[in-house]
Amino acid sequence: MAEAFLTAENLHKSFNEYKAVNGISFTIYKGEIFGLLGPNGAGKTTTIRILSTVLEPNSGDVTIGGQSIRHNADAVRRLIGVCPQELALYADLSALDNLLFFGRMVGLNGKEAKSQAIANLELMGLLDRAKGKVDKFSGGMKRRINLAIALMGRPQLLFLDEPTVGIDPQSRNMIYETIESLRDGGMTILYTTHYMEEADRLCHRVAIMDGGQIIALDTPHGLKSMIGSPEQVTLEDVFLKLTGRGLRD
Ligand SMILES: Nc1ncnc2c1ncn2[C@@H]1O[C@H](COP(=O)(O)OP(=O)(O)O)[C@@H](O)[C@H]1O
Ligand SMILES: [Mg+2]
């Protein structure tokens, strides 16, 4: 049996009276890409904020690499990298300086920060733009820098919150390929998206979230088998069947 790397137990988080996360539990195994799939407002980002120690849950706990987010948040932070849904970049700095800055923030010395920054820029196909100011970059390039930053410090667990929203197909493909190569290198990844084909292509297992709850959790093949022949139905069919066709925005 695979080794658990993250265990979330009965998480709750309310904003005023609104239950954004309403009693979710799941395990992510070492080396897997775990997908959190759900319509807008399902609670995906709130869940990532809890798992990454940005938000405290009202109740429940999360263990990452054996450390609790409640009792050992600093130790958890050393194990994780976060690529947030909202870009977190210094627009006035060059790509390289953004990576160096975040590298120092996660405790790398100057030499180590520089070598990781260059490796990550190369991985994301941006080495030739290292000296370019980030505010001149396209949306897809900014997304790729955001991912390069999340990799500083070589995290064991990477959180990716909708990393492919609103970008060109070339950048999207590069992000897919990067995620697959990180997985092949042994990284554990939590991936949120509302694009079903992405989850089907990338994820070992997928949790479908709606209204703050996990309403199904299985392999893409297992989820498709719930409603028909896996060769004939898509994850989108499963998703619509489970979450309904009502608009969410
Ligand atoms: N800081 C906050 N204050 C109040 N409501 C929030 C806050 N963060 C999220 N919410 C609400 O919680 C629900 C879940 O949001 P979110 O986790 O961002 O969903 P998702 O990422 O799946 O789109 C939404 O209805 C959102 O408006
Ligand atoms: Mg979100």
Q: Domain locations in the chain?
A: 1-79+156-166+180-249, 82-155
CA separation for the pair 22, 149 (Å, rounded): 31
Decide: residue 242, CB within 10 A, 0-12 exposed, 13-18 middle, 19+ buried.
middle
Residue nearest to atom 11 of ligand 1 (CA): 20
Instruction: Report whether 141 contacts 132 (CB < 8 A).
Output: no
Cβ–ligand 1 distance for 208 under 6 Å, the answer no
Residue 167: predicted pLDDT: 87
CATH topology of domain 1-79+156-166+180-249: Rossmann fold (3.40.50)
Residue 118: predicted pLDDT: 97
Task: Give first-to-last CA distance, the chain, whole Å.
Answer: 40
Residue nearest to atom 7 of ligand 1 (CA): 15
Question: Which ligand number lies closest to the CA of residue 20?
Answer: 1
- Domain 1-79+156-166+180-249 and domain 82-155 have a common topology: yes
Cβ neighbours around 247 below 10 Å, total = 7
Decide: residue 145, CB within 10 A, 0-12 exposed, 13-18 middle, 19+ buried.
buried
What's the predicted TM-score (pTM) here?
A: 0.93
Cβ–ligand 1 distance for 178 under 6 Å, the answer no
Side-chain-side CA neighbours of 71 within 13 Å: the count stands at 6
Instruction: Report whether 89 contacts 98 (CB < 8 A).
Output: yes
Residue 249: predicted pLDDT: 62
Residue 66: predicted pLDDT: 96
The answer to whether the Cα torsion of 241, 235, 27, 171 is positive or negative is negative
Residue 222: predicted pLDDT: 95
Instruction: Report whether 136 contacts 89 (CB < 8 A).
Output: no
The CATH number given to 82-155 is 3.40.50.300
Q: pLDDT 10s per residue in the chain (249 long)?
A: 589 999 999 999 999 999 999 999 999 999 999 999 998 899 999 999 999 999 999 999 999 999 999 999 999 999 999 999 888 899 999 999 999 999 999 999 999 999 999 999 999 999 999 999 999 999 889 999 999 999 999 999 999 999 988 888 888 888 999 999 999 999 999 999 888 888 999 999 999 999 999 999 999 999 999 988 988 999 888 888 888 766 666
Cβ–ligand 1 distance for 65 under 6 Å, the answer no
Residue 53, amino acid:
T
Ligand 1 atom with the smallest distance to the CA of 48 is: 17
SS3 assignment for 66-80: CEECCCCHHHHHCCE
Instruction: Report whether 170 contacts 158 (CB < 8 A).
Output: no
